[in-house]
Amino acid sequence: MKKLIIPISVALAAGMTPSAHALNLGIWGVGHLSIDSVDDGANSSLYLASNSSRLGISGDHDFNAGSKVLFQYETGADLTGEGANDGNGAGVHQQGQLFTRTRDAYVGVSGDSGTFLLGRLGGLNQWLYDFNLFADQVGDLGNIWGANGLPGRIDNALHYASPDLSGLSLAISYVPEEGVDNTDAQILKANYAADELKVGAAFASVGQGAGMDEHSVIALTASYDMGQFVIGGGFQDESDIGGTAGNDRDSFTLGGSAKVGDGVVKLQLTQTDSDGSDQAATQIAFGYDHMINDATTIYFAYATTDNDANVAFTANNYGHGEAVAPAAAGQDPSAVSIGLVYKFDANLVK
């Protein structure tokens, strides 16, 4: 921790020289709504879902030659007004409330030696979205990879990311215990990009409390962009899930997409298994994204999850609103979704 805190202190101190430098300030957001028909394995129903809709303000402010203060304030938004189950994370909010859960939010500094951030930042999300063709849609990879308690985001986080090292970048995140034994977390992440190839590797250890083992994970991801076609996949190995020794699970994903006119056809397979009896599951997702313009996408997506007798993985949960759990362990949920996504990004001050 001293190795992480000292560079942050030095970088902050370097900016104390009074000067007038440029402020960049922008506002951006995503509005994502869908009509879903969801079957929990026993019954089906129709839903209108707000899916990780969000609003953010971010920017930077030069304070010294080559150095900047960075900031971002991002909140989830429920465009249906339901106030919960909107894909922005667990929590119960007042019905009729627009803003729901804090998403990535931080302040930090950036310079030649890298970037230092403090706040609420990515946990599992640091590698979950390396290759996830159905992000925030039904069939999201997180329905499997994020179903065992790994936090998508981590609160009270310190984060350092290296500058680009000829295509390689390294990052470390740390969450302190803050007075509660064995509740700290560490994440190491490496990314490499060379032309069409992208490769990622991650290691994380998340404390589960006094007397419990750490929930740890190793993940590898890769993708290759051929222009017309993109293929990719990943592997995730979890150990001591929930702090229980020997509660381990391996998961993998493989998928691809192809450009068709103004849209993209995509298919993704995700499987998971553990040493326990009848605890495997397979998720298959198929979809088509049609880009109306640079800001607007309409899509169709279908996802189904085949659960063994002792597990209950979902088909529409991670990042997607109106999540529906299987009626019981061993049930096979499915979802059909038609959605509209609108994104905006505007400079307020530059």
Residue 58 in this model has a pLDDT that exceeds 70: yes
- Residue 232 clears pLDDT 70, i.e. is over it: yes
At residue 17, the pLDDT reads: 45
The residue ranges of DSSP E strands in the chain, in sequence order, are 23-39, 44-50, 54-64, 67-77, 99-102, 105-111, 114-122, 153-161, 168-175, 185-194, 197-206, 215-225, 229-239, 249-260, 263-274, 281-291, 296-307, 334-349
Contact 248, 274 (CB under 8 A): yes
Instruction: Give the Cα separation of 189 and 202 in Å (integer).
Output: 4
**Where does the chain have alpha helices with state H?**
2-14, 125-128, 142-145
pTM of the model: 0.91
**Residue 71 sits in a domain of what CATH number?**
2.40.160.10
The pLDDT tens digits of the residues spanning 274-329 come to 999 999 999 999 999 999 999 999 999 999 999 999 999 999 999 999 999 999 99
The pLDDT score that the predictor gives to residue 19 is 47
User: What does the pLDDT read at residue 153?
Assistant: 97
Instruction: Label residue 63 by pLDDT band (50, 70, 90).
Output: confident
Q: How does pLDDT run across 203-227, given as a tens digit for each residue?
A: 999 999 999 999 999 999 999 999 9
pLDDT at residue 15 greater than cutoff 70: no
Q: Do 248 and 275 contact (CB within 8 A), yes or no?
A: yes
- Does the pLDDT at position 2 exceed 60? no
Per-residue pLDDT, averaged over 7-18, amounts to 47
Residue 332 has pLDDT above 80, yes or no: yes
Quote the number of domains for the chain: 1
In the chain, the percentage of residues whose pLDDT exceeds 70 is 93
For the chain, the first-to-last Cα distance in angstroms comes to: 35
Tally of CA atoms within 13 A in the half-sphere of 117 that contains its CB: 23
Task: Look at residue 92 in the predicted model and tell me its pLDDT.
Answer: 61
pLDDT at 71 over 50: yes
Which residue range forms the structural domain that includes residue 11? 2-349
Q: Range with the lowest mean pLDDT among 60-74, 107-121, 254-268, 305-319?
A: 60-74
Tell me the pLDDT band of 16, cut-offs 50, 70 and 90: very low
